[in-house]
Structure 1
Amino acid sequence: MSTPSSPAGASPAVSIIVVSADSGASLRECARRALASNVPLQFILLDNDSHDGIPQAIERDHAGDARLRVVYNGANLGFGPAINRGAALASGETLLVLNPDCLLESDSLQRLLDRLEQTPGAGIVGAVVCDEHGTPDPASFRRDPLVGRALRTLFGGHGEGVNISGAIPDAMVQAEAVSGALMLMPRNLFQRIGGFDEAYFLHCEDLDICRRVRDAGGEVWLAGDVRVLHGKGTSSRHRPVFVSWHKHRGMWRWFRKFDPAAHNPLLAGLVWLGIWAHFAAKIPGQWWRLAKRRAARMEAVA
């Protein structure tokens, strides 16, 4: 089977970087769709110690395809650290950070590359990630999670929150942050700002890199007319408390790095208490839902 390729000696237009951690069958479809693109590309899969056999299945599916490279980390390094290792192996002029549960349409990759090229100053271009019903994830188009905004989002109230209300524009629109499920950016910019902050393990590193791109003089844009299915993979469902702990830890790190309110010791202490109280309050429900899923699986096997 022939595959699209770059001219001899030329770099691919884009290096797609995916991190897996027991991500489930959607990862296989993610790779299949990406590698079906006519865009000259490189597909780098960084596996964070999965035990589901899917990365190995992808290697078998695409045996002989020089565009695919699978790296087995042997441990769960976290999302950002794994992406950075993938970026160090990349040869494309552009990097596409892609979640293993994101399924590209046939023209999505080319359209995103066109948007990046046609938008002077763009440092990151995101897409609208949607569930299976076509409902956009609010994280596709959002603001920095400053403490005042976060409180208005959590409890309601007047004024702007983290998520931008209303329908997402069906065009290119500038944003403060886009979803880390799909982020396209020039490789030289990624290298210049030092890639992802590896002190985050999982969650909020996308908010961090969007902020650092803007601080470096780049712009963050959302391609509102590019919609991508984001299926929400299995890794988070299998380890909800683990994932939630790292999410709240990421919130605290972002707050300390970027929110002016962090300079007020009293307010910072209250934010710390609020973050971890919120984490603790979510644990019983997470355990209950996990127990129900396990019971349902056992019934299905019986």
Structure 2
Amino acid sequence: MQDLLNELTLVTVTYNSAQVLPAHIASLRETATTAMPRWIVVDNASTDATDAIVAANGNCVEMLKSEKNLGFGAACNLGIHASKTRYVMVLNPDTQLSEAAIDQLLAELKNRDAAIAGPALEPEADKSIVDAPWLVGAVLLFDTQLMNPVGYFDERFFLYEEDKDVCKCANDAGLKVIHCRNVSIPHVGGASTVRNKTVNKFIHFHKGRSYALYARKHELGEKVIEAYVRSNKKRMNFALLTFGVARYARAKAKIQGVNSAR
């Protein structure tokens, strides 16, 4: 990991992620054979035990705390701009790291002169490395020398679509975005924040809002947005017939998100 010390910064974004953060930090600590690279936890004003967890691991991680919840992309930007290395890896706190996987992903990025690389987020039989239109934001490795002129996350996207957007912007600029299926960094998915009815409504509101923002930014046409709204109205009607209270709430929140972006 010696090269990583000088070349790479890790940025983990948290929001009430105390349930998964200890295992996330331990996954790399337990596989590191030497000192670890700089690791910044950007916290979106959590109210759980996140501060205490970072303090307890202060020998390997540091905290950059926001006074309010900025959203995923804006928090990533804070961490990227605070880094001083050429390569920056942004992470969800429900991912499981290893020294070998990080080394390999960085090597693939360099070997292919790519601007962004992402790993397999669950084990795959296909070990190919392919150019990708977009990657899931749970793990994204950036070459800042290539990406600085393009920029990073559009902060209008509070949650969702920001990963698709940054990859499209890189591809549109003629840069390579690669999916390295030969590198495995497992992602639990949906475990970064404790879920309840309020959180679920918030999440689906931003799914709808970000969908509309992305469609308009990249000129996909109003018909695409209208089709999305119609689809969710059908889900609401079906949920009423089947007493699917949670499904009804999710679809309704998405439509409200779309309407907020008009």
What TM bracket, shorter-length normalisation?
A: 0.7 to 0.9
Residue 44 in 1 paired to residue 59 in 2? no
Q: Which amino acid aligns with 2:230?
A: G
Q: Who is 1:31 aligned against?
A: 25
In structure 2, do the counterparts of structure 1 residues 119 and 268 end up closer, same or farther at CA, with 3 Å as the change threshold?
A: closer
| 2:170 is the counterpart of 1:176 | no
1:242 aligns with 2:202: yes
Seen in structure 2, the aligned counterparts of structure 1 residues 189 and 251 have a Cα distance that, compared at 3 Å, is same
CA contact (8 A) 2:115 2:144 kept: no
Pick the aligned partner of 2:120 from 112, 124, 128. 128
How far apart, in 1, do the equivalents of 2:95 and 2:231 lie?
29
Structure-2 change in CA distance of 1:29 and 1:11 (3 Å): closer
TM-score, L = length of structure 1: 0.71
Contact kept? 1:11, 1:93, Cα under 8 Å: no
Contact residue 47 and residue 71 of structure 1 kept, 8 A: yes
Equivalents in 1 of 2:140, 2:205: separation in Å? 24
What does 1:189-204 correspond to in 2, within 5 Å?
Answer: 189-204=146-161
Is 1:80 the counterpart of 2:73 in the alignment? yes
Aligned to 1:14: 8
**Letter of the 2:193 counterpart:** S
Aligned residues: 240
Q: Secondary structure at the match of 1:203?
A: coil
List runs of 5+ in structure 2 lacking aligned partners. 251-262
Q: Deviations over 1:184-219 (max 9, x none)?
A: 111233322221000000011000000001011111
Q: 1:187/1:78 Cα in 2 relative to 1: closer, same or farther (>3 Å)?
A: same
The equivalent residue for 1:299 is none
What is the CA-CA distance between 1:5 and the residue it aligns to?
Answer: 7.0
Deviation at 1:280, TM superposition (A): 5.4
Other structure's SS at 1:237 match: coil
> Are residue 116 (structure 1) and residue 109 (structure 2) matched?
yes
- Secondary structure, aligned partner of 1:192: coil
Structure 1: gaps spanning 5 or more residues: 137-167, 290-302
2:230 maps to what in 1? 274
The answer to whether the 8 A contact 1:31-1:58 is kept is: no
Specify the code of the residue in structure 2 equivalent to 1:247.
Answer: K
8 A contact 1:202–1:246 mirrored in 2: yes
Aligned to 2:91: 98
For the Cα contact (< 8 Å) 1:12–1:91, is it kept in 2? no
CA deviations on 1:121-174 (whole Å, 9 max, x unpaired) are: x111101112xxx5x6xxxxxxxxxxxxxxxxxxxxxxxxxxxxxxx6312111
Secondary structure, counterpart of 2:185 in structure 1: strand
Q: 1:42 & 1:287 partners in 2: Cα distance?
A: 44
Q: Distance in 1 between matches of 2:29 and 2:38?
A: 9
Structure 2: which amino acid aligns with 1:245?
F
Using the TM superposition, give the Cα deviation of residue 35 of structure 1 relative to its aligned residue in structure 2, in angstroms.
4.3
* Percent of residue pairs identical: 24
- Taking only aligned residues, the RMSD between alpha carbons, in angstroms, comes to 2.8
2:178 pairs with 1:217: no
Deviations 1:205-262 (A, max 9, x none): 0000000010111111111111122112151623111111101211111111224x41
